[in-house]
Structure 1
Amino acid sequence: MRKYPILRSMLTGHFSLHRLFPAVCALALIAAVPSVRAQDDPLNKVHVPPPGTTTPTAEPKGAEAPAVTGAPSTRVKPGSVIRMNVDMVLVPVTVTDPMNRLVTGLEQEDFKIFENNGEQKIKTFAAEDAPVSIGVIFDLSGSMTSKLVRAKESILQFIKTANPQDEFFVIGFNDRPELIEDFTSSVEDIQARLATVRSGHRTALLDAIYFGVAKMKEARHERKALLVVSDGGDNRSRYTEGEVKAQVRESDVEIYSIGIFDPYAATPEERTGPLLLNELCEETGGRMFRVDDLSEMSDIAEKISTELRNQYVIGYTPRDLHRDGKWRKVKVKLNPPQGLPPLTVHARTGYYAPLQ
């Protein structure tokens, strides 16, 4: 199969071509790209080739590794920790094609970033698998009873395919949220705790998300994300939708969701649940994935894990350095190489400036 990379890409959903660099740069990149773990199998991933390149006769080693891109002066070396200072804004970015596949291999010059409609100068650019602090928000309400086994399996698949340096906590919720497992990198610890949970009662989804975002203040890594696994709307929370949206805006946490929604939802809360989750995800640059078949949950969880490991991270120093606490709108635009189909950018919509 290695002799036929195009056939292989059709079977796996992963199309990967390498740019042709000058010889000196090529040697440096070969030394820098980390080796790929045997269990890594990126889902629905498209690697963008440079104009004028040709398909190699054999897929190079490391072709499925996250792309190391950007000019040498701004490239972040694999394994390094991306840190944010008070005057630097970091924006994780996901790019997808019309078939909803990840697009990797883009360069810094393919992006433009704007704050309050004013273009900003990109100071740092990375496309590497940096560690993430992740909180799993797990719906344990009564309506999840028939879906509990599949949901547990999807959470474990998500964690098993993550970066080994990632850390996780798990919050379960029904009438109220409860910390099931504190920050850990141990799949075994999380698996043992998930084996003890039971479903029942009502759904305090907003309270659980609020708790999860607050818990992220204890995170070790600069990049932070929540994975919400739920089948419906909120019918028990004390926090309002407006309060949770405000808290999410003030954080730097991405929200992803696996939504197991009933197409024949009986209550207003169940009907508005998908809209609420989708809004929270889009606000932060994450995405919501609907589950049409419970057997697909583990594949969806792995897809989200792969997406988190293949994001671009753009850093810029705002031209407006006033510490006024005001909301600043952020927009990432693409100017990709010619010949590509229309691409979609997923990124946070803004941030609050610091007050001091």
Structure 2
Amino acid sequence: MLRRTQFALLVLVLFPALVLVSTRPSTAQDTTAVEVGGIDTSNFPEITLFVSVRDLYTIPVPDLTAEDFEVTVDGSVVSILSVENVTQNELPISVVLVIDSSESMAGGPLENAKAAAQTFLDSLAPGDEVALIDFDSTVRIVQDFTTDLDTVRGAIDTLQAGGRTALYDASYQAADVASRANNPRRFVVLLTDGNEYGQLSLNPAEAGIELAGSQNIPFYVIGLGYEVDPNYLANLADLTRGRSLIYAQADELTALYTYLAIYLRTQYIVTIDPDLEPDGAEHTVQVDVAGGTGTGTFTAPDLYPQGTIEGLPEEAVSEPVTVIAQVSAVRGLGN
């Protein structure tokens, strides 16, 4: 009870200072917020949903079971195979920490960001893995994924400010690193105090968004100060089912990062069997739990046989010709 009270106080102190650019969850009666933060189709026909459930004070709702959830796909109720909680079931997560180290972050902002990142690590659990990226005029993978958080701490301490802001390349690189995570529960936490500055990125603005969206990698984006590009940060978060926060001052970053670490570790993993055809069609999923509703969309894998024919004459022929027919069948062909 004491821990829950302390967390409530943290949220109540922290969030009045924030400007919420994007709030992805749907709410019911202003009491419960439900987010479908990721959808994994890799084990099709089973679908895995990553769901966050928070109360009026943004505190994660604990102890929910499969009986508390109802899931519909395209309006039809589907079978729930299992419901797990990341914390209660000791399920590891993977996080890419991305820190803007451009010259405008020199001094207090970067030192506060480094301290906040260290505190973020304090809130993780054994088995969680973290990668560290920093960026200015270029993007660097300072530390690839590791469960040795002391190694990540040492890497954070080496960050220094300088250069401009290759923001688009940073978001793309973060999504690329996250796509290679060892856990299906993977996230990016990106902090920047600016926008794409100097036109140094080799990737366009949409590249990181598209890669993260296709790989179901939510971005939790922190914009620091008043020189950020709120539209880009909002799109980066919204289109990847994450959240975007604009924060006026750097001195409260530690509290924010602590909240994010707790938030990411209190998701529910809901596995469903929607009985869908593997035809590449797009579907809408809705999760109802504890008086709240969250929605998301996903595309079923296209696993039907695909055929091509090469060498087929366009005109009538008078002698034999060779025609090559090729069939690609991910699931194999029947007799």
Q: Common fold, TM-score beyond 0.5?
A: yes
Partner in structure 1 of residue 101 of structure 2: 140
1:89 partner letter:
I
Distance 2:64 2:300 in 1: 29
Distance 2:244 2:300 in 1: 27
Distance 1:234 1:118 in 2: 43
2:57 partner letter:
M
1:12 partner letter:
Q
What does the per-residue CA deviation read over 1:180-202, in whole Å, with 9 as the maximum and x for residues that have no partner? 11111223222222222222222
Distance 1:305 1:14 in 2: 15
Distance 1:351 1:121 in 2: 17
Q: Residues 119 and 248 (structure 1 numbering): CA distance in 2 closer, same or farther, change over 3 Å?
A: farther
Partner in structure 1 of residue 269 of structure 2: 313
Distance 2:3 2:151 in 1: 36
Partner in structure 2 of residue 110 of structure 1: 68
What does the per-residue CA deviation read over 1:179-225, in whole Å, with 9 as the maximum and x for residues that have no partner? 11111122322222222222222222221121122223332112111
Corresponding position: 1:352 with 2:299: yes
Instruction: Give the match's secondary structure for 2:276.
Output: coil
What does the per-residue CA deviation read over 1:96-121, in whole Å, with 9 as the maximum and x for residues that have no partner? 22333322233323323233444332
Distance 1:175 1:112 in 2: 47
2:217 partner letter:
V
Q: Do the aligned residues in 1 keep the contact of 2:209 with 2:240 (CA within 8 Å)?
A: no
**Taking structure 2 as the reference length, what is the TM-score of the superposition?**
0.72
Greater strand percent: which structure?
2
Corresponding position: 1:244 with 2:238: no
Greater Rg by CA: 2
Quick one: which of 251, 256, 259 aligns to 2:220? 256
Distance 2:158 2:179 in 1: 27
Q: Residues 232 and 319 (structure 1 numbering): CA distance in 2 closer, same or farther, change over 3 Å?
A: farther
Corresponding position: 1:322 with 2:278: yes
What does the per-residue CA deviation read over 1:27-82, in whole Å, with 9 as the maximum and x for residues that have no partner? xxxxxxxxxxxxxxxx559xxxxxxxxxxxxxxxxxxxxxxxxxxxxxxxxxxxx9
Instruction: Give the match's secondary structure for 1:295.
Output: coil
Q: Do the aligned residues in 1 keep the contact of 2:41 with 2:301 (CA within 8 Å)?
A: no
Q: Do the aligned residues in 1 keep the contact of 2:137 with 2:164 (CA within 8 Å)?
A: yes
How do residues 68-83 of structure 1 correspond to structure 2 at under 5 angstroms?
A: none
- Deviation, 1:303, is 0.7
Higher relative contact order (Cα pairs below 8 Å, separated by 6+ residues) = 2
Distance 2:290 2:58 in 1: 19
Distance 1:328 1:220 in 2: 27
Instruction: Give the match's secondary structure for 2:61.
Output: strand
Partner in structure 2 of residue 64 of structure 1: none
- Deviation, 1:315, is 1.2
Distance 1:13 1:134 in 2: 21
Quick one: which of 92, 112, 120 aligns to 1:131? 92
Identity %: 23
How do residues 145-294 of structure 1 correspond to structure 2 at under 5 angstroms?
A: 145-146=106-107, 147-235=109-197, 236=199, 237-262=201-226, 265=227, 270=228, 273-294=229-250
- Deviation, 1:241, is 2.9
Q: Residues 88 and 284 (structure 1 numbering): CA distance in 2 closer, same or farther, change over 3 Å?
A: farther
- Deviation, 1:13, is 4.2
Distance 2:262 2:148 in 1: 19
Partner in structure 1 of residue 286 of structure 2: 331
Distance 1:350 1:280 in 2: 17
Number of residue-to-residue matches in the alignment: 270
Distance 1:195 1:10 in 2: 31
Runs of at least 5 residues in structure 1 that lack an aligned partner in the other structure: 16-42, 46-81, 337-342
- Deviation, 1:250, is 0.8
Quick one: which of 79, 91, 99 aligns to 2:49? 91
What does the per-residue CA deviation read over 1:94-146, in whole Å, with 9 as the maximum and x for residues that have no partner? 12223333222333233232334443322221123210111111111222224
- Deviation, 1:12, is 1.7
Distance 1:259 1:276 in 2: 10
